[in-house]
Amino acid sequence: MPVAPCTNLLGIYMAVHAIPDVVNLTHVPVGCKPKIMNSMVAHNGFDKNFYRNRWTGMSEADIIGGEELRLEQFIQECYNRYQRPPLMVVTTNTVIELGVQDTAAVVRSAQDNVGAKLVHVKAEDFGGDLYAGYADVVRAVLTNLDWSAQAPEKGAVNIIGYVYDRIEPDHAANVAELERILTSLSLVANSVFLSNRPYEHLERAPRAAANIVLPHLHEKCMDLEAVSHRPSVLTTLPLGLAPTCRWMREVARVAGVDEEVVEEVTGAEMERIEPLLRYAREHLTWRDLAVFSDTITAAHLCILAMEVGMRPTVVGLLDRTLGGKARLTSILDSYGLSLPERTVIFEDPTVQELARFERAQGEFPPFDVIIRPTFEFFAGSPGVIETGFVSYHSHTLFPMPTLGFNGVLALCQRLLSASLQPRVERRRRPPHPEGHTGR
């Protein structure tokens, strides 16, 4: 059993939840709803408003008998009940698609009778992961926009591919940080996909002169330039110091900002944070880190860790669609970094694999700090930073970004706090074999 079994259906739900006025009509069997809700309610600490979601809750007889007419009626009812939302996402899953119903045709037919845009997203439940489902929704929204409706405005750029997995201040802080960086480059964040802002915010995307695509959406946005008729750049994830600097250069290049401006802004930011980072390095160097996250985020967390002298000793990649170990290595490689040779890497690990690994470590886990979502391994480990999906226990009361320069500081703050948590008595640490591997 995989540690991270979520598939596309959850990602679709998550994406629609990040557009506050869009209605999600999920056409699935009865049993899918409580599972999705269980995770989403646990993950969202404060926002419990999941009422923009309707579930058809199909039984076996419904599926075998075909429910075309009733689905169409249901779409119509939802449109009226939710006071004419601007967009409705109709989600179907594998079980529904196994039935006799041609749901795509039903959605097309229903489109004639409702004023909202209807988007049909199929959840592939055999494999995939939540990132694929999330990307499918963003892709569907992007391709449904009328890119010729507005003339591009110089300096306005769209950010595409931010995974806004819950309505909490950590994500708001990340969006604010990216917008702050853009402002410092005299650019304007036009539309952010997705950012817990209403559909109107996304609908104005054609006003941007360029698209900046973050790595979680790279695969789905290869052809965005052709779709949007605007220059589109597939960028790095601005998590960590070097990646943030690189991201600024990538953005500046596509938006036509002078390199000198980038250098000036970067210089000012470095001047601000370098003394603080020095402090962080003093306390974090030679500390061992375990990271369990999706491939993209894990790679960048490793970069940040190495920038402050930490050693990633265990890396778990909790996705099935973002490239796995090969992409992890290639991202690190692009920064001239590599993981220590003894680092253990898990790709889409099973519960049993991790349990065996944990047992093999005895009472001394091979790390001082572990960054992970909610899972049952290393439960008694010393320094824990719970983040990513699903985070059952950790919720952010105060904006704490992970992206951009402020994200570097906020993450270092969390690493410092975690590393200071009472630790089990350990043998004296061996000297750092690779030396300091900072940026």
Partner 1 sequence: MGKSEPIVQQRTCSLFGVANYLCLMAGDFSVVVHSYLDCINTLSLNSFLVDGKALERFFCTRFTEMDVIDGTTSQCLSEALDAVIGERPDAPVFVLTSCVTEMIGDEAAAVVRELRERTGARITLMRTSGLGAFTLAGIVDLLATSLVDLAPRGMRKKKGAINLIGSPPLAEFVEVFDKLGIEINRCIHDGSSLSDWLALPSASLNVVFDRSLFAGFLDKMEAEFAIPTLEVPPPYGVQASAEFYRSVAGHLQVPSARLRVIDELAGPGAALLEEGRDLFRSRKVGYNICSSIDFTMATNIGMGLVDLAMFEELGCDIEFLYQGDSSEENLQRVRDVLRNRGIEHSVHGFEDTFLLRPLLEEGRFDLVYCPRFLMGQVLGTGAKFLKIHTLQPGLRSMEANLELLRSALEGKN
Question: Rounded to whole angstroms, how far apart are CA atoms 370 and 384?
Answer: 5
Integer Cα distance of 20 and 102 in angstroms: 29
Q: Which of residues 348-367 bind partner 1 (CB under 8 A)?
A: 351-352, 355
User: 70 or 246, CB closer to partner 1?
Assistant: 70
Stretch of 201-209, 247-255, 276-284, 368-376 contacting partner 1, by CB under 8 A: 368-376
Distance CA 256, CA 154 (A): 9
Within residues 114-153, the interface with partner 1 by CB under 8 A covers 123-128
Of 74, 83, 82, residue with least CA distance to 107? 74
Q: Which is nearer to partner 1, 190 or 391 (CB)?
A: 391
Rounded to a whole number of angstroms, the minimum distance from the CB of residue 114 to partner 1 is: 17
Q: Is 93 in the site for partner 1 (CB under 8 A)?
A: yes
Minimum gap (Å) between residue 394 Cβ and partner 1: 13
Binding partner 1 (rule: CB under 8 A), the pick from 31, 267, 433, 435 is 31
> Is residue 376 near partner 1 by the rule CB under 8 A?
yes
Q: Which is nearer to partner 1, 3 or 255 (CB)?
A: 3
Tokens found for residue 378: 């290393």
Q: How many CA atoms lie within 13 A of 135 on its CB side?
A: 21
380-409 residues in contact with partner 1 (CB under 8 A) are 390, 392
User: Which span (166-174, 213-221, 329-337, 347-355) binds partner 1, by CB under 8 A?
Assistant: 347-355
Closest approach of partner 1 to the CB of residue 120, in Å: 17
The order of strands in the sheet holding 311-317 is: 344-347, 311-317, 288-293, 369-372, 383-386
Q: Can you tell me which of 45, 94, 207, 361 binds partner 1, judged by CB under 8 A?
A: 94
d(CA 200, CA 21): 9
Cβ distance 54 to 78 under 8 Å? Answer: yes
Pairwise CA distance, residues 24 & 136, whole Å: 14
Find the shortest distance in angstroms from Cβ 297 to partner 1: 18
The CA angle 213-321-353, to the nearest 5 degrees, is: 135
For the bound state, the minimum distance from the C-beta of residue 126 to partner 1, rounded and expressed in Å, comes to: 5
- Tell which one of 76, 80, 98, 186 touches partner 1 (CB under 8 A): 98
Looking at residues 43 to 62 of the shown chain, list those that interact with partner 1 (rule: CB under 8 A): 48-51, 54, 56-60, 62
Burial of 221 from C-beta contacts in 10 A (0-12 / 13-18 / 19+): buried
323 φ/ψ sector (left φ>0, alpha ψ -120 to 50, else beta):
left
* Pairing label, strands 188-193, 153-160: parallel
Of the pair 55, 164, the CB lying nearest partner 1 is at 55
Under the criterion CB under 8 A, does residue 74 sit at the interface with partner 1?
yes
State the nearest-atom distance from the C-beta of 141 to partner 1, in Å: 23
Fill in the amino acid letter for 398: F
Binding piece for partner 1, criterion CB under 8 A, among 27-35, 151-159, 213-221, 423-431: 27-35
Total of chain residues touching partner 1, rule CB under 8 A: 58
Beta carbon nearer to partner 1, 144 or 352? 352
Angle between helices 404-419 and 241-255 (to 10 degrees): 170
Minimum separation from the CB atom of position 130 to partner 1 (A): 9
* Closest to 107 in 3D by CA, of 198, 30, 26: 26
The answer to the question of residue 81 lying near partner 1 (CB under 8 A) is yes
Binding mask 2-21 for partner 1 (x = CB under 8 A): xxxxxxxxx-----------
Q: Where does residue 374 rank: exposed (0-12), middle (13-18), buried (19+ CB within 10 A)?
A: middle
Footprint on this chain of partner 1 (rule: CB under 8 A): 1-10, 29-36, 38-39, 41-42, 48-51, 54, 56-60, 62-64, 67, 70-71, 74, 81, 93-95, 98, 123-128, 351-352, 355, 374-376, 390, 392
